[in-house]
Structure 1
Amino acid sequence: MTEIKLYKSRWKGIKLIALTLPFVIIGFWMISKEQNGTFDCIMAWICVSFFGIGILIGIFNLLDNSARIIINENGILDRTLKQGIIKWEQIIEAYPLDIQNQKFIAIVVDETFEFKKRQYKWAENLNKLVGAQKLNLNLSQIEINENKLSDLINKIANSEKNERLNFIRTFISNQKLETNFNYQNFIIYFFVLIGLAMVSLSNFIAFMTIIISMGISALIVKWYSGTNNKTKLYKYARIMTYLGFINLVILLLFFEIYDSISNNVGTKFTNEIETYKSEYGKYPNEINSIREKLNLNLFQNYIANKIAYKNDGNDYKLELETLKHNQKEFDKDQQEWN
């Protein structure tokens, strides 16, 4: 039987993991640095627990291979509603609905439809308040245009039985074309995100410009939230908000990793310089020979090349230009750049 099968969007699962994973990594990073029982350690565990739930939900969406909504010649089956199949002869009307940026299609049915699962009175009142029906297809986890799907439902509900199959086949064909286009969009977003990260690291003004743009975009999204008047401005503002937020999280994570690696490199240089003094009775005049002994990896070597060594005979200094384009001196006692 020719059917339209709508699944949970794998891309939405990936986006959810992408948004929550950096916070989980940062949380574990803080846990490894802080002592057990301290306020920072407790907050880190709360961060890991909260955002870890998002990762689990994202993984579940990726592994869930069962169709959430099935549309065929007989009617519509939404397995989350637990109401059985909604026959075309029972559907009076369908219309798209946006509730706090969550997509739904409200289904108006006639008196012949028997509800297998009764709603509570407060739920019925809430549905009336937001303009919903007793039957509402939840599309929040499905990558599909709710207006086109509601148009299809109305067309089939008002057509003859022998015409339904043609509507379904046409919709399936068009939906495949749209899906391919979405894949191209996400590839573009990936490269845009790389560009934003590189520009943000280039200078502070560029970073602040991106942050301000993200804030303005978030206000635009909030302004249009809950309305059906979703313009192109809303669409691009939403994209910019997501990309800006992910960019900010990536930068914070990158700075944490950079600080940890640079502290490790500084510690290695300090230990080797002190070893040199204990052997020769003086500090080395340069550190190129010392760096060759350390067997640094690619990232460590990149940081080592940016370290300036100063020796006045009695003492020495290690200075580093950080990603924020300021100079820091290595504290030999604290084993970190200050």
Structure 2
Amino acid sequence: MLNTEIQLYPSPRKTLLLIGSSALLVALCIYLLNYSVYVSVLFAWLGILVCSLGVIIGLLRLLEHKPQMIINKLGIYDRTLYEGLIHWDVIQKALPLQKQSKEVVKLVLLSTNSAGEAVKASPGSIDEAQEINLALEGLNIQAEILTQFIQEVVAHVPGTRKDAAQAALPALQEQIKLKRVLKHS
């Protein structure tokens, strides 16, 4: 049976950097607490507590096994957004962007009416098309590849996009695997 969804997990690199730097600062504060007469005890303990919080947050992030982004035949779910599932039928177009040297895919969504049906917004209306940015930092996918996949799915008529997405998912998964292999070789 074909895999009907792609789950993208965040890279642990930033989390490990957070844990390492926080642990280093905790060790420095403990050293200053024991051997320095120039640092107040309150300052050293405050540093230990704050930096220990960084270690705890980092460990919790490492132990969390939830994907950051899920792409399936129904749409795209990004945990960093509070939008829930973004259905294929409401996506109008996708654009790759570079924001502050980070890869982002900008989705332009169609407006919805009171019945929940997607309609194109007129240029002067209050209910303009909504834009959502999918941050790809730390994920094993490039903005151009994801944008090409989304544009391929969105090119179909809104009622048939689920089938188009399901048909295109294996090719996207192969591209992601190929990029991962090329990156590590």
TM-score, shorter chain, exceeding 0.5: yes
Higher normalized strand content (fraction of residues): 2
1:17 is paired with a residue of what secondary structure? helix
8 Å CA contact 1:8–1:61 kept in 2: the answer is: no
Distance apart, 1:107 and its partner CA: 1.2
- Aligned pairs (5 A) from 1:109-128: 109-112=109-112
Q: TM-score, normalised by structure 2?
A: 0.70
Distance apart, 1:149 and its partner CA: 1.8
Q: CA, structure 1 residues 9+64, in 2 after alignment: closer, same or farther (shift >3 Å)?
A: same
> Is 1:145 paired with 2:146?
no
Distance apart, 1:32 and its partner CA: 2.6
Q: Which residue of 2 aligns with 1:61?
A: 61
Aligned counterparts of 1:45 and 1:97: Cα–Cα separation in 2: 43
Distance apart, 1:41 and its partner CA: 4.2
Aligned counterparts of 1:7 and 1:62: Cα–Cα separation in 2: 11
Structure having the higher Rg: 1
Amino acid at match of 2:137: S
8 Å CA contact 2:7–2:71 kept in 1: the answer is: yes
Aligned counterparts of 2:57 and 2:178: Cα–Cα separation in 1: 28
Identify which of 19, 28, 33 aligns with 1:26: 28
8 Å CA contact 1:86–1:113 kept in 2: the answer is: no
Q: CA, structure 1 residues 75+18, in 2 after alignment: closer, same or farther (shift >3 Å)?
A: same
- Aligned pairs (5 A) from 1:257-268: none
Q: Which residue of 1 aligns with 2:74?
A: 74
2:111 is paired with a residue of what secondary structure? coil
8 Å CA contact 2:9–2:69 kept in 1: the answer is: yes
1:97 is paired with a residue of what secondary structure? strand
Structure 2 unaligned residues grouped into runs of 5+? 115-129
Q: Which residue of 2 aligns with 1:96?
A: 96
Distance apart, 1:63 and its partner CA: 1.2
CA RMSD of aligned residues (A): 2.9
Q: Which residue of 2 aligns with 1:163?
A: 164
Q: TM-score, normalised by structure 1?
A: 0.42
Aligned counterparts of 1:45 and 1:99: Cα–Cα separation in 2: 38
Structure 1 unaligned residues grouped into runs of 5+? 115-132, 186-338
1:9 is paired with a residue of what secondary structure? coil
Distance apart, 1:180 and its partner CA: 4.5
The alignment-based identity, stated in percent, is 27
